[in-house]
Amino acid sequence: MTERKVAIVTGSATGVGAATALLLAGRGYNLVINYSRSEAEALTSQAACQTAGADTLLVRADVADDAACRAMVQATVARWGRVDALVNNAGITSFAGSSNWDALDAQTFQHILGVNTVGAFQMVRACVPHLKTSASGSIVNVSSIAGALGIGSSVPYVASKGAINAMTLHLARALAPEIRVNAVCPGLITSRWFVDGIGQEGYEKVKSVYERTTPLARACTPEDVAEAVVWLVDGARTVTGELVLLDSGMHLGGKVPVPGRS
């Protein structure tokens, strides 16, 4: 068994997942780099983690496939003999809004739930026996402000993240004291994921409104989210069952005028 801790980060080819894997590599973790389609980006993420000192395992797997989840965990244990942390980051959406009913059929709904919610559960189920034997077992679910405020790119996405938040609370109780379970709920993230979904022009408009109306007046970078995830994984020893809102204060309802400030 390796002395370095081991983390599985799903969807770690790009964005938040890649940033999280790289930070964990720098904290002394070996990493499973998981992807479903973006092989070139996954190889880049893997190389960055190796440069940071980590041993890595590259695994192509769709987390909606239970057999693929189990195989990924089995390969991890075969390689290093342990799993200390699981970051459920893999996620998809349909940028359909809330009223484009023709784009929100049952198949789309089930596909989004299959990856975002069922996939996260399947990874948890496969990892739990190994996380329980770690001295510091931790699960962090990358959720969204969509699940906390009921807003987002589409109804199924909102529903999937609301379910993740509820599941986080349940698992925090069920898996204590051996495993801590938390979630991060970012607002707008400056990543390719949003640009690919709504186009550069649409993204710039959303970002402008977000930065004008949130108290901290800034969107998250993938690195901002990764910092919170890594704190929950590798620190926060008395924290479990938390839904950490990374939304620049969006949940407060917008900016409030401060006397003496223009």
Catalytic residues, which ones?
157
Q: List, in order, residues 6 or more apart from 227 with CB less than 8 Å away.
A: 23
What 192-199 contacts at long range (C-beta under 8 Å, 24+ apart), as own/partner pairs, is: 192/14, 192/15, 193/14, 193/15, 197/93, 197/95, 197/153, 198/95
- How many whole angstroms separate alpha carbon 210 and alpha carbon 219? 7
Cα 26 versus chain centre, distance: 19
Q: Outline where the chain has alpha helix (H).
A: 15-26, 39-51, 66-80, 106-113, 119-131, 145-149, 155-175, 192-213, 222-234
**Residue 195, class by beta-carbon neighbours within 10 Å (0-12 exposed, 13-18 middle, 19+ buried)?**
middle
- How many whole angstroms separate alpha carbon 190 and alpha carbon 203? 9
